[in-house]
Amino acid sequence: MPAAGRHLAVMAGLAVLGLIGYRLLTTLEGGKAHICMLVMVWAIAATGLNVILGLAGYPSLVQASFFGGGAYISSLLLQHGWQPAVAAVLGIVLTMAGAVLIGLVFARTRGQYFAIGTLFSGAVVTLVLINEKGVTRGQQGMPVGLAWSTDLTIKLLAVSVPASLAIFYVIARSHIGDRLRSIREDEDLAAHLGVPTAQIKLIALVISSAFGAWAGVLQAQSDGLISPSQFTFVKGFLLFVAIGLGGYGRLLTPVIGSFIVIGVPELLDLGPGISQIALGVLFLVVTLTVPGGLIGGAEGVARRAAGVIRRPTGSDVATPSEALT
Amino acid sequence: MGQVLVNGVFLGSLFAVVAVGLTLVYGVMEVPNFAHAGIIVLAAYATFEMSERGAPFVVAAIVGVAAGGVVSVATELFAYRWVRNNPAAAPAVALGLLLVMQNTALRAWGGEGKALDTPYQGVLVRFGGVSLSGVKLALIIFAAVSLVGLGLVLARTSLGRAVRAVAQDREAAAMLGIPIQQQYTLAFLIAGLLAGVSAVAYAPTFQITPYMADEVLLSAFVVVVVGGLGSVGGAVVGGLVLGVVESFGAYYISAAYQSAFGFVALVVILVARPGGLLGTNARRVA
């Protein structure tokens, strides 16, 4: 398929996805609607993580804090009488500013140091949310003034998921996307070829924080209550698990991953222990046996099945552009 | 002042034992072992379970330490071994293992804290205006004994030399005929036993919960970065330094933010030296 037609098809597919989301949010009832909303919010936050973890292969464990940053900052501004739109925008901008700070320190570090640094950054954010009781009300959480009608929040959610994925699609095909993938393949080589690796990692972290913060704004507005436990580094792990399960850097990973990580445990309702154990085991099995994640694995199976019919000697190695979809 | 310093030594001993386990595994296998926290938790519950069933503390403690070793070796056998040639997957495996272990503990023993009784918990040692509870003193002694023991093993035995050789250069060690696989398992065994020691020593000062080791693990990772990933001596020195820093921060500034002072230390170090402080063996961190 020619490139333009392919892009158009992807965008149309995303639009359909948004309509399905809207339909689910408006027709499902009670608990199920809430689960659907959670999955959609998480999909937006995970899309951000898919930029830095998926494209660049950098294990950012601070994503849940960006999520929390958007939720807390926008809610606090609303509480102080700011306009909803301004509160939301400032929630995102200030969270991105925080991401710049974290990035300035840790983007220069490599691999495991980056994982440790971002993990600890997230833990400190949680510590602040719990301890600054005068502002955040601490562990018990704070009620959020609802700025928008339920209908508008639902529409925003339904538009935001496909819009986020579309932005990811564009980023993945841009100059920055190429540079991020070059870092994932071989950071030393990328640096030698003139890719400013630290700067690119910083940009990726800030982009990921914008998605996380917008997800946080929507989470606060749909739930009406936020607490530090929603944004701990355990949630950061779960976002990581969502990306790994779906397949690093693939377009639909955030949706599939969030559904498995958040939706399935809530729907099955086996109790927190059992579902998290099952999730951990599934994640381990996928990590050890299917490096492309569930989407990559399914694609491989499909390609092999097609290859058997069309060209028996065909290779099943994905080309870079295929690996992205 | 003296009291704060002694508390710092207590914290530092704990960090050192946990950090040495992390750095050993990192040294031979380049895995940031987040699952170490899960091993500490399971070892603590094993000790608790044994003493609940009426076993004397010594027996319970030995079972706890052994449990740490067994679980740690199991993580190597069933998970880490399979991503040995793909270091990028290591953090994911570590997180998956942590998720499984913490939730197994949550499922089996519940979320509320359990107290571990010890024969020395009523003891209070005083010297020169400084007091130290029996459990804290015991932790310092446990830490010192196990780390000196480990130091001797690494320095004096052929087993220890083999582990160090693998940590310095995996390919060269393999060429010289050192069985690499065996060193991986050994590193995980030692790390697991140290996790067990820290669990038995640390649990009585606090309650046992599935998340008891999270903050300690974070501080221990700072120690590992301070000491240089893969450096055992650096981990011991770094542990004590960080313990004292956190203790002074908690006392003079805010106790609620104790572990945040470790973060400040991490930021300062990584801004100055993105590759850690004592990258003496020049291991490339990637």
Query: pLDDT value at position B280?
Result: 45
pLDDT at B278 over 80: no
Q: Do B96 and A115 touch (CB under 8 A)?
A: no
The share of chain B scoring above pLDDT 90, in percent, equals 20
- The answer to whether A37 and A188 have CB atoms below 8 angstroms apart is no
Query: pLDDT value at position A272?
Result: 66
Distance from CA of A298 to the nearest CA of B (A): 20
- For the range A29-34, what are the long-range contacts, defined as Cβ-Cβ under 8 Å and sequence gap of 24 or more? A31/A266, A32/A267
How many domains, chain A? 1
Handedness of CA B160, B164, B170, B171 (dihedral sign): negative
Residue A318 included in any domain: no
Query: pLDDT value at position A51?
Result: 93
**B174-233 per-position pLDDT tens digit:** 888 888 888 889 889 999 999 999 999 888 888 898 888 888 888 888 888 777 666 778
**CATH classification for the domain delimited by B2-272, as one of 3.40.50.1820, 1.10.3470.10, 3.40.50.300, 3.90.1150.10:** 1.10.3470.10
The reply to whether A121 touches chain B by the CB within 8 Å rule is: yes
Q: What is the distance in angstroms between the CA of the first residue and the CA of the last residue of chain B?
A: 41
Give the C-alpha separation, A159 to A18, whole Å. 6
- Mean pLDDT for the stretch of residues B42-65: 91
Question: For chain A, which ranges sit under pLDDT 50?
Answer: 312-325
Give the C-alpha separation, B75 to B40, whole Å. 13
Helices A3-27 + A150-173 axis angle, to 10: 160
pTM equals: 0.85
- The answer to whether B31 and B96 have CB atoms below 8 angstroms apart is no
Record the tokens describing residue A156, joined without a space: 């925003």
CA nearest to A115 within chain B: B91
Q: Do B92 and A287 touch (CB under 8 A)?
A: yes
- The answer to whether B286 and A188 have CB atoms below 8 angstroms apart is yes
**B115-170 per-position pLDDT tens digit:** 888 888 778 888 777 888 888 888 888 888 888 888 888 888 888 888 888 877 88
The share of chain B scoring above pLDDT 70, in percent, equals 95
> Chain A partners of B274 at a C-beta cutoff of 8 Å?
108-110, 113
- Mean pLDDT for the stretch of residues B77-95: 84
Residue A47 included in any domain: yes
Residue A176 included in any domain: yes
Confidence of residue B277 (pLDDT cuts 50, 70, 90): low
Go through A130-162 and write b for each residue having 16 or more CB atoms within 10 A of its CB, e for each that does not.
bbeeeebbeeebbebebbbeeeebbbbbbebbb
> Chain A partners of B276 at a C-beta cutoff of 8 Å?
113
At A148 the three-state DSSP class reads coil
Distance from CA of B77 to the nearest CA of A (A): 13
Nearest CA to A43 out of A59, A26, A67 is that of A67
ipTM of the complex: 0.81
CA distances from residue B92 to B80, B86, B155, B216, B263 in whole angstroms, order as listed: 10, 11, 33, 20, 23
By residue count, chain A amounts to 325
Average pLDDT, chain B: 85
Greatest CA separation found in chain A?
68
The reply to whether A320 touches chain B by the CB within 8 Å rule is: no
> Chain A partners of B262 at a C-beta cutoff of 8 Å?
120
Closest in B82, B106, B270 to A109, CB measured = B270
Residue A250 included in any domain: no
Q: Do A108 and B270 touch (CB under 8 A)?
A: yes
Handedness of CA A240, A241, A247, A250 (dihedral sign): negative
3-state helix, strand and coil shares in percent for chain B, rounded to the nearest 5: 75, 5, 20
Q: Which residues contact A162 (CB under 8 A, 6 or more apart)?
A: A14, A15, A17, A18, A21
Give the C-alpha separation, B72 to B18, whole Å. 13
Q: Do B263 and A121 touch (CB under 8 A)?
A: yes
What domain range includes position A63?
A: 3-234
> Chain A partners of B267 at a C-beta cutoff of 8 Å?
105
Domain spans of chain B?
A: 2-272
Closest in B98, B257, B286 to A127, CB measured = B257
Query: Which of B31, B82, B101, B267 to mutate to probe the A interface, most A CBs <10 Å?
Result: B267
**For residues B101 and A150, which has the higher predicted lDDT (pLDDT)?**
B101
DSSP A304-318: HHHHHHH-TT---PP
Give the C-alpha separation, A135 to A147, whole Å. 19
- The answer to whether B25 and B224 have CB atoms below 8 angstroms apart is no
Work out whether strand A225-226 and strand B124-127 pair parallel, antiparallel, or are unpaired: unpaired
- The residue written with tokens 């893969």 in the block is B230
**A2-32 per-position pLDDT tens digit:** 788 888 888 888 888 888 888 888 888 878 8
Q: How many CB pairs under 8 A join A and B?
A: 132
pLDDT at B274 over 60: yes
Residue A263 included in any domain: no
- The residue written with tokens 């700025």 in the block is A147
DSSP A170-188: HHHHSHHHHHHHHHHH-HH
Query: pLDDT value at position A98?
Result: 93
> Chain A partners of B110 at a C-beta cutoff of 8 Å?
none
- The residue written with tokens 């031979």 in the block is B28
CA distances from residue B21 to A128, A174, A280, B134 in whole angstroms, order as listed: 29, 42, 23, 24
Q: How many CB atoms lie within 10 A of CB B179?
A: 13
- The residue written with tokens 């996380």 in the block is A212
The reply to whether A30 touches chain B by the CB within 8 Å rule is: no
Closest in A106, A123, A280 to B218, CB measured = A123
Q: How many CB atoms lie within 10 A of CB A224?
A: 11
CA nearest to A128 within chain B: B257
Give the C-alpha separation, A287 to A276, whole Å. 16
